[in-house]
Amino acid sequence: MLPKKIATSIRECAEDKKAENILILDVKKQSSFAQYFIITHGNTDRHVNAIAENIMTEMKKKGEPAWQVEGLREAKWVLLDFGSVVVHVFLKELREFYALESLWGDAKRI
């Protein structure tokens, strides 16, 4: 699957679990390790966990399993690495605190 298709499929998986303010950033020009970043959040740790678990389950069904997963147990900031696509699922307060969108301000929004 092409990286852009992976990113849009992940967005759909996140939408299925009511993830909020889903943002896809094209970071090809800014990053040597990924083509797209997806940033989203849930309102509780259970919500964050449900979003991340659904993304992992559905993408595995599509033949695109996560290469690496960090933070799932705590479910405050879950990082899902799909190679060319990196997903950040935050607890709302942590997303506001870290403001990753501002760090990648030059990236094109999809």
Split the chain (110 residues) into runs of 10 and give each run's mean pLDDT: 95 98 91 91 98 98 97 97 97 95 78
Q: What is the pLDDT of residue 104?
A: 72
Q: What is the pLDDT of residue 108?
A: 78
Domain ranges, residue 22: 3-109
Say how many domains are in the chain.
1
Give tens-digit pLDDT for 58-72.
999 999 999 999 999
Q: What is the pLDDT of residue 82?
A: 97
Q: What is the CATH number of the domain that holds 15?
A: 3.30.460.10
- From CA 79, how far away is CA 8, in angstroms rounded? 17
Q: Is the pTM of this model over 0.85?
A: yes
Q: What is the DSSP string of 70-96?
A: ESTTTTSEEEEE-SSEEEEEEEHHHHH
